[in-house]
């Protein structure tokens, strides 16, 4: 074992950086026989700066501890892109990158959010951790505006599994491609903008749009399209940390495909959305310890309507779930966090639970 | 490729350490058509010290070279925990850690043991590499006593596969959970103590106990319990390296479950145990090379008895296997080892074999 | 995240080096619905020098982004060996190493070859990335001659799947073992020699030979043997980069096995071969940017003949495919490359395609 030294390199010289984060979670629902402990994720990051302008960013993630032909975990390349800065303001990225959507997707280390589990809106509606492969241009301006826009791979609606509940839990996560031999006949477009013009305040929005059938032979809805947009805000006056987000997704033109599924458990929804509001108070303790109680309220609906299905077979709407979370983040130092929370569900009350977690990021 | 520098950091500063170990083994049993060469394991370790008191320890392992939906290998998070020292004597650990049991489980690099393969007692009775998730407190005292105690996840007896031979090869390895979406309704308790009061001598013991049914609906033995304890000793007078160990495990209260398996190949044993004694002579050669011939004798029984089965269906006992190993470790340097040995089995003589191996650890 | 420092260590001191390379490819064949984008590979390399003479070399690779029980990617230990130099001229290697065959197999980073995809001859005939486990001795002489010879694991013909097309795409890749619980009753022998006596010129050859049935009970061709040899040349006069290669493989003595497959889609070929010639012009731009247009022509046949099959069932020969590639490598810096090319196939014209790629290596 050879220790890795501290940053001696001048900014123009090549340098390699290793980072890591991890989460270990314990969930105890009302039905205690469902209590579970899990290495939710262990991530190794590798970055390399080739020169002052160009770097490589990558993340390798193991979920659920073990990946093999007979285990339930998986190994994932979560990011792998090259970034080239044209000047202090503009830059380009090529490869597999996190989509600049919402508050959590690009900022998903356990030390960065409140609560043991990531919020539902940014997992069920925005399919975090959502990444696509493609090209991106971005800008960071002195007036506090930052933005990005690009062309990427998109979703594959032909993967929709109407017999599974996955499409109901998170419509877009069930048809994401993660750049694994991804169908790429149809590409998608995205844009994002954030404003940080006032210290402590961030306001932002994003939009994504792309066809999802890829000319697949025999697929009933060749023109089907996926869209997603969000609005988000974060404000940190003093010790308070307040945030709110609304996200809405759609799968348009999938009515003919739905007809072929008539009677199946999970048809394709035409719209799904959700919002949350969250307030935390960061209480600074001795050293750099922080005790942060927080509350969050979320509402989301993963199926607002279903095209193409006659009245008797059309679910209409799944109904809007509401989740209240009350909890505590304790940061032993800025890189290590212990978490506890209670979650109550409005509709699916059997999911009410206690969560405990440990996480780190460096 | 950017070389990683030598340890410049003062102990109080953050630092990342990369370690690794690997084993490549060749086994040639009496039936030569079963000869096999394998990347037994390749491990990358990552440690990060956040501050003087707090660090993260992790290990990522690949076994059998390739992991995929159609291959036989696997990728595993073998350790992932946070350690926080309260002072020079006491500390806490949280996360997935190696159980402090026996001599090999927490000290399993190929340079740390004699022979190409790990001993049978610490794989068939103690399910090395055995790790659980939980909380641990430990102490290291000036008088040579070190100890640990904690609460962790445990085994899942509902996974027992009575049609497979896995439960006969290693009862506990066949029902370990490895913190992969682990059932955690029942938690387990462990304690360990070691004494190193005389230079060259180590005496130790450990105990583990936990329920294993987790309230799983429909499981016939809801009160089933797993226990394991061991005694171990290591003595290194001069160039000699002597060690001995006894371990005994039990699965209590599984009689009703066994009844539901009546007639199946592998019922649940109520007890299993084993011991070994080993002597090596470390012959110091030029440089830091070491030639170490060794002998080891082991006896173990993975099924001493079976609850709940009527006489005709009760295997009674599997019988006690005995294994003699004679071999040679050659250390090219303290971190690189070449190994060769011969193994003879008392009962299952078809397993008699020649083993060759290469290993490293840093 | 802690930056890794620059090389401070004296050559005799232990040091760890992290390297990486990656490829992201987009293929658009004539049938656009088959267009695909893929994280072809992401590789982390770890090397450790124990002392002036001894080092460990390893590579861990993820292909196709995600590996799990339900995904199509895989995680592979691609190299894992110990190297010990006896003096400036001779050295030994033990473990899993790349076979010293052709131009690409040991030099396969995306920055090292022209075109988005690796050439067909060195994937269909030489099964790149081809590695075996064993022992190797090598020499590097002042007169420009370098050579290696060794004994290794070999292929497992009992894995041949006559119902799959894999054996037609690359006969040897379909029966490689990758040191994954590899059958090792039969070992194989190899040798390679290269001459770099004139600056800019490299001439080389290699040969491999080994039995492939391993005494497997019931296998119809117990004496079957795999052979492979190649001749290769590379010449870089001025800005030109010219190369050519011929490789020929054989599977001898598999006639009886083929008889048992009679009528199956893919019998075992007795011979397969191919050659290519390639010319690139490296146009040096501002900074260390390079624009390199290139052309390559390849011909290969993965089945020249089939032993043991009567005339009606004997495919005779698969016919010789010819592939022309015209493309452009653009190096942003020596470690980052963007690629584009067009490929035309003589026989299987449906595979004609446009390829785009991004790669890096450090």
Any A CB within 8 A of C9 CB = no
| CATH fold label, C15-361 | Porin (2.40.160)
Average pLDDT, stretch A112-138? 98
What is the C-alpha separation between B243 and B202, in angstroms, rounded? 9
Query: Do the beta carbons of residue C361 and residue B1 sit within 8 Å?
Result: no
Interchain pair C6, B2: CB under 8 A: yes
Task: Specify which residues C97 forms β-bridges with.
Answer: C132
Smallest CA–CA distance, residue B87 to chain C, in Å, is 26
Residue B172 has pLDDT above 80, yes or no: yes
CA distances from C246 to B157, C121, C167, C268 (A): 58, 8, 20, 21
pLDDT of residue A1: 52
3-state secondary structure of A258: helix
Q: Determine contact: B87 vs chain C, CB below 8 A.
A: no
Name the closest residue on chain B to residue C132, using Cα atoms: B37
- CB contact under 8 Å between A18 and C14, yes or no, is no
pLDDT band at B218 (very low <50, low <70, confident <90, very high): very high
Q: Kindly indicate the confidence band of residue A204, based on its pLDDT and cuts at 50, 70 and 90.
A: very high
Q: Which of A229, A231, A266, A264 is nearest to A250 (CA)?
A: A229
pLDDT digits (tens, 9 = 90+) for A327-343: 999 999 999 999 999 99
Q: Which of B14, B336, B358 sits opposite C54 (nearest CB)?
A: B336
Which of A124-128, B94-98, B168-172, C263-267 has the lowest average pLDDT? C263-267
* CB spacing of C185 vs B32 below 8 angstroms: yes
| Residue in B6, B47, B78, B96 to test binding to A, most A beta-carbons within 10 Å | B96
Q: What rounded mean pLDDT belongs to chain A?
A: 95
User: Would you state the structure tokens that stand for residue A60, as one six-digit string?
Assistant: 């390798």
Q: What's the whole-number mean pLDDT along residues A40-61?
A: 97
Task: Inspect the interface and report whether the beta carbons of A360 and B69 lie closer than 8 Å.
Answer: no
Interval B1-27 mean pLDDT: 72
Per the CB < 8 A criterion, the answer to whether B62 and C60 are in contact is yes
Length of chain A as a residue count: 362
Predicted confidence at residue B2, as pLDDT, reads 44
Residue A262's pLDDT is what? 77
Instruction: Say yes or no for a CB contact (<8 Å) between A15 and C2.
Output: no
Q: For chain A, list the strands marked E by DSSP.
A: 2-4, 15-29, 36-49, 54-63, 66-68, 74-85, 90-98, 131-140, 145-152, 182-183, 188-195, 201-211, 225-235, 240-252, 271-281, 283-284, 290-305, 321-333, 336-345, 353-361
Question: Which of C54, C76, C78, C360 to mutate to probe the B interface, most B CBs <10 Å?
Answer: C76
Report the alpha-carbon distance of residue C267 to residue B351 in Å, rounded: 35
Q: Which residues make Cβ contacts (< 8 Å) with residue C286, sequence separation at least 6? A: none
Q: How distant is the Cα of C253 from the closest Cα of chain B, in angstroms?
A: 19
pLDDT of residue A61: 98
Residue B14 pLDDT: 76
- Per-residue confidence (pLDDT) for residue A78, from 0 to 100: 97
Size of interface A-B (CB pairs under 8 A): 164
CA distance B360 to C57: 11
B180 touches C: beta carbon within 8 Å: no
Distance CA B249, CA B272 (A): 5
- Residues of A within 8 A of C36 (CB-CB) are 181-184
* Mean pLDDT within B107-125: 97
Summarize the confidence of residues A161-172 as an average pLDDT.
97
Whether residue B275 has pLDDT greater than 70 = yes
Q: Which of A5, A20, A37 to mutate to test the interface with B (most CBs of B within 10 A)?
A: A37
Q: Kindly report the nearest CA distance between residue C207 and chain B, in angstroms.
A: 22
Per-residue pLDDT of chain C (362 residues; tens, 9 = 90+): 544 444 444 455 679 999 999 999 999 999 999 999 999 999 999 999 999 999 999 999 999 999 999 999 999 999 999 999 999 999 999 999 999 999 999 999 999 999 999 999 999 999 999 999 999 999 999 999 999 999 999 999 999 999 999 999 999 999 999 999 999 999 999 999 999 999 999 999 999 999 999 999 999 999 999 999 999 999 999 999 999 999 999 999 999 999 999 789 999 999 999 999 999 999 999 989 999 999 999 999 999 999 999 988 899 999 999 999 999 999 999 999 999 999 999 999 999 999 999 999 99
- The verdict on B56 touching A (C-beta cutoff 8 Å) is yes
Q: List, as ranges, residues 89-108 from A with C-beta within 8 Å of C.
A: 94-96
C-alpha span between A64 and B178 (Å, rounded): 9
C129 preceded by cis ω (within 30°)? yes
**What residues does B133 pair with on adjacent strands?**
B96
pLDDT of amino acid C2: 44
Q: Is the pLDDT of residue A6 over 80?
A: no
Q: What is the pLDDT of residue B42?
A: 98
Q: Is the pLDDT of residue B337 over 50?
A: yes
pLDDT in tens, A141-158: 999 999 999 999 999 999
Nearest CA-CA partner of B175 in B187, B153, B158: B158
Cα R_g (chain A), whole angstroms: 21
How buried is C286 (Cβ within 10 angstroms: 0-12 exposed, 13-18 middle, 19+ buried)? exposed
Pair B153, B177: CB distance under 8 Å:
yes
Task: Tell me if chain B has a CB within 8 Å of the CB of C347.
Answer: no
Which pLDDT score, from 0 to 100, does residue B323 have? Answer: 98
Distance separating alpha carbons of residues B208 and B226, to the nearest angstrom = 8
For residues C65 and C75, what is the distance between their CA atoms, to the nearest angstrom?
Answer: 9
Long-range contacts (CB closer than 8 Å, 24 or more residues apart) made by A238-241: A239/A281, A239/A282, A239/A283, A239/A284, A240/A279, A240/A280, A240/A281, A240/A282, A241/A114, A241/A279, A241/A280, A241/A281, A241/A282, A241/A292, A241/A294
Q: From the candidates C33, C45, C338, which should be mutated to test the interface with A, based on the most A CB atoms within 10 A?
A: C33
Looking at residue A2, its pLDDT comes to 44
Residue A62: list chain B partners with CB under 8 A.
60, 75, 77
A10 touches chain B (CB under 8 A): no
Q: Do C44 and A50 touch (CB under 8 A)?
A: no
Question: What's residue C1's pLDDT?
Answer: 52
Contacts of B96 in chain A (CB under 8 A): 24, 39, 65
The reported pLDDT for the residue numbered A9 is 43
Most B CBs within 10 Å: which of A40, A47, A68, as the mutation test of the B interface?
A68
What integer pLDDT is reported at residue C72 of this predicted model?
A: 96
Torsion of CA C278, C284, C290, C296, to 10 degrees: -10
The CA distance from B22 to the nearest CA of chain A, in Å, is: 13
What per-residue confidence (pLDDT) applies to C5?
A: 40
Give CA–CA dist C109/C112, Å, rounded: 5
Contacts of B153 in chain A (CB under 8 A): 37
Every domain of chain B and the residues it spans: 15-361
User: Both tokens of residue C164?
Assistant: 């799959």
The answer to whether C17 and C47 are in contact (CB under 8 A) is: yes
Let me know: does C238 contact C200? Beta carbons within 8 Å: no
Is B22 within 8 Å of C56 when comparing Cβ atoms? yes
CB atoms within 10 A of CB B73: 27
Tokens standing for B212? Answer: 């294993």
Q: Which two tokens stand for residue B258?
A: 């066994």
Give chain C positions within 8 Å (CB) of B18.
Answer: 16, 18, 46
- Cβ-defined contact of B333 to C84 (cutoff 8 Å): no
Whether B218 has its CB under 8 Å from any CB of chain A: the answer is no
Contact C33 A185 (CB under 8 A): yes
How far apart CA B300 and CA B230 sit, in angstroms, is 13
How many Å separate Cα B230 from the centre of its chain? 12
Rounded CA gap, C28 and C34, in Å?
7
């Amino acid at each position: 074992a050879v220790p890795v030294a501290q940053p001696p390199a001048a900014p123009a010289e090549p340098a390699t950086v290793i980072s890591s984060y991890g989460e270990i979670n314990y969930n105890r629902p009302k039905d205690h026989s469902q209590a579970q402990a899990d290495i939710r994720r262990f991530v190794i990051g590798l970055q390399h700066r080739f020169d002052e302008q160009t770097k490589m960013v990558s993340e390798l993630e193991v979920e659920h501890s073990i990946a093999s032909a007979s285990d339930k975990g998986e190994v994932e390349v979560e990011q792998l892109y090259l970034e080239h800065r044209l000047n202090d303001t503009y830059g380009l990225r090529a490869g597999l990158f996190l989509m600049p959507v919402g508050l959590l997707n690009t900022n998903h280390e356990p030390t960065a959010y409140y609560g043991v589990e990531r919020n539902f809106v940014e997992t069920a509606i925005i399919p975090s951790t959502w990444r696509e492969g493609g090209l991106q241009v971005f800008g960071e301006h002195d007036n506090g505006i930052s933005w990005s826009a690009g062309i990427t791979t998109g979703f594959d609606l032909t993967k929709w599994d109407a017999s599974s509940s996955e499409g109901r839990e998170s419509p877009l996560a069930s048809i994401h491609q993660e750049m694994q031999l991804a169908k790429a006949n149809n590409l998608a477009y995205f844009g994002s903008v954030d404003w940080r013009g006032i210290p402590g305040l961030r306001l932002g929005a994003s939009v994504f749009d792309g066809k999802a059938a890829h000319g697949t032979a025999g697929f009933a809805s060749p023109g089907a399209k996926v869209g997603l947009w969000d609005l988000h805000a974060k404000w940190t006056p003093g010790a308070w940390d307040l945030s709110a987000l609304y996200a809405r997704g759609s799968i348009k033109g999938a009515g003919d495909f739905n007809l072929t599924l008539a009677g199946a458990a999970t048809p394709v929804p035409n719209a799904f959305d959700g919002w949350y509001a969250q307030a935390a108070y960061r209480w600074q303790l001795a050293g750099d310890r922080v005790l942060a109680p927080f509350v969050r309220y979320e509402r989301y609906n993963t199926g607002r309507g279903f095209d193409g299905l006659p009245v008797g077979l059309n679910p209409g709407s799944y109904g809007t779930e509401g989740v209240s979370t009350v909890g505590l983040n304790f940061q032993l130092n800025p890189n290590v966090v212990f978490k506890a929370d209670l979650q109550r569900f409005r509709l699916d009350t059997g999911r009410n639970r206690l969560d405990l977690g440990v996480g780190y990021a460096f």
